[in-house]
């Protein structure tokens, strides 16, 4: 098992990143973990929180010493905020991000940036028009493990990539917002986004997408997508087979097959952890990253944002906006085949029109 040397992660110490003042838009589950991760591991400062409910904002902010705002516009206008972390439900990402940009604030928007590619493009255009920073908070691509994967693929250590096989399923109870059609229900935007994001990051723009899915009863009796599988084709003949479900837990591994070696990210692949590379001689080689939770990893994306803004950049190298759009275009294509329509979109003969709002 000798002879295979893994690259070192190229992740700077988060404690050395320039310190920005963060405002939190949406005091929910992921925001709690984002703030805790920043407080534990990094140099960033969280100064304020905003919600449509001043009571919710106050309940989140009081124990953390944050100023509470009863609207996202008030949060965006706060002079003690440099960058807004958009952690609202998916359907509000566009409006909240645009409000922050209009107020002159940089934005980090939870994945995905919008419910479709048109919304993400609108955020990119608004940021570019004002010379402001915008990025998608896809925490996986900022982690040390994924930087090792990125280097192995980009440097040709696996040979030519021919296939990607990945799954991500969790049991989400019927009370979860994923069962609410008004909030773009289904597993795609919460879970499947990781599959599409990493597959298109490593293999490029999908040239064709074939999707299958099934519905489950949603809130109010309206069906929502419950599981989705997709086959993505890429230039050169590479393919990705992806599967997501909110009906139960899956191994959540991510496999990249190359002509010289196969790489498997331990499950759950979207967080911190290890990986294995098996070369064509059958030898297995381990890279032992420590598993961890969101609290152990969300600070890496905040540090990357701080480094980029301090350097005068309007995007991060780890997740350029074009790659965020690339993933959403493939997700849009899968939804169009399955007739999955989110709020603000509508059906037309032959498919789904992916409207801006």
pLDDT in tens, 327-347: 999 999 999 999 999 998 976
Higher pLDDT, 66 or 356: 66
Look at strands 161-169 and 134-137 and give their pairing.
Answer: unpaired
The structure tokens listed for 246 are 């909110």
Q: What is the mean pLDDT of residues 99-112?
A: 98
Contacts of 103 (CB under 8 A, 6+ apart): 73, 76, 77
- Alpha carbon distance 212, 95 (integer Å): 31
Say yes or no to pLDDT of 355 above 80.
no
Say yes or no to pLDDT of 1 above 50.
no
The closest of 164, 160, 214 to 187, measured between CA atoms, is 214
From the number of C-beta atoms within 10 Å of its C-beta (0-12, 13-18, 19+), residue 162 rates as middle
Tracing tokens 């069962």 back to the chain, one arrives at 179
Query: Quick one: pLDDT band at residue 42, thresholds 50, 70, 90?
Result: confident
Q: What is the mean pLDDT of residues 27-53?
A: 97
The third-level CATH classification (topology) of the domain covering 147-291+320-353 is Dihydrodipicolinate Reductase; domain 2 (3.30.360)
Portion of the chain with pLDDT greater than 70, in percent? 96
Residue ranges of the chain that CATH labels 3.30.360.10? 147-291+320-353
Q: Are 71 and 52 in contact (CB under 8 A)?
A: yes
Residue ranges of the chain that CATH labels 3.40.50.720? 14-140
**Residues 79, 83, 88, 92, CA torsion sign:** positive
Out of 3.40.50.720, 1.10.3720.10, 3.40.50.300, 3.40.50.970, select the CATH number for domain 14-140.
3.40.50.720
CA 286 to chain centroid, in Å, comes to 26
Q: What is the mean pLDDT of residues 289-298?
A: 96
Determine phi and psi for 24, rounding to 5 degrees: -100, 120
Say yes or no to pLDDT of 275 above 50.
yes
The vertex-288 CA angle with 284 and 289, nearest 5°, equals: 140
The pTM for the full model equals 0.96
CA 350 to chain centroid, in Å, comes to 29
- Alpha carbon distance 302, 43 (integer Å): 9
Q: What is the mean pLDDT of residues 32-58?
A: 97
């Amino acid at each position: 098992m000798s002879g295979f040397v893994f690259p070192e992660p190229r992740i700077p110490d988060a404690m050395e990143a320039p310190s920005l003042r963060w405002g939190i838009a949406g005091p929910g589950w992921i925001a709690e973990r984002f703030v805790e991760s920043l407080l534990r591991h990094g140099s960033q400062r969280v100064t304020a929180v905003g919600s449509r409910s001043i009571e919710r904002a106050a309940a989140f902010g009081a124990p953390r010493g944050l100023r509470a705002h009863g609207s996202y516009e008030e949060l965006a206008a706060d002079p003690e905020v440099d960058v807004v972390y958009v952690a609202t439900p998916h359907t509000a990402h566009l409006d909240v991000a645009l409000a922050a940009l209009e107020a002159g604030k940089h934005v980090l928007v939870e994945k995905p940036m919008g419910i479709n590619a048109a919304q993400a493009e609108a955020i990119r255009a608004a940021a570019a028009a004002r010379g402001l920073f915008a990025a998608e908070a896809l925490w996986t691509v900022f982690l040390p493990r994924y930087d090792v994967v990125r280097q192995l693929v980009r440097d040709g250590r696996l040979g030519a990539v021919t296939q990607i096989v990945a799954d991500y399923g969790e049991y989400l109870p019927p009370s979860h917002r994923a069962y609410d059609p008004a909030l773009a229900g289904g597993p795609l935007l919460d879970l499947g986004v990781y599959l599409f994001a990493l597959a298109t990051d490593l293999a490029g723009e999908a040239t064709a997408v074939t999707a299958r899915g099934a519905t489950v009863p949603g809130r109010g009796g309206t069906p929502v997508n419950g599981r989705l599988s997709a086959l993505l084709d890429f230039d050169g003949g590479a393919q990705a087979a992806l599967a997501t479900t909110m009906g139960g837990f899956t191994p959540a591994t991510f496999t990249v097959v190359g002509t010289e070696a196969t790489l498997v990210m331990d499950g759950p692949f979207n967080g911190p952890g290890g990986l294995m590379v098996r070369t064509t001689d059958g030898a297995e080689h381990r890279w032992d990253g420590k598993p961890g939770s969101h609290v152990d990893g969300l600070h890496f994306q905040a540090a990357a944002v701080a480094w980029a803004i301090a350097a005068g950049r309007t995007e991060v190298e780890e997740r350029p906006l074009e790659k965020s759009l690339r993933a959403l275009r493939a997700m849009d294509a899968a939804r169009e085949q399955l007739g999955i329509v989110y709020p603000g979109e509508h059906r037309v003969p032959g498919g789904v029109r992916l409207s801006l709002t």
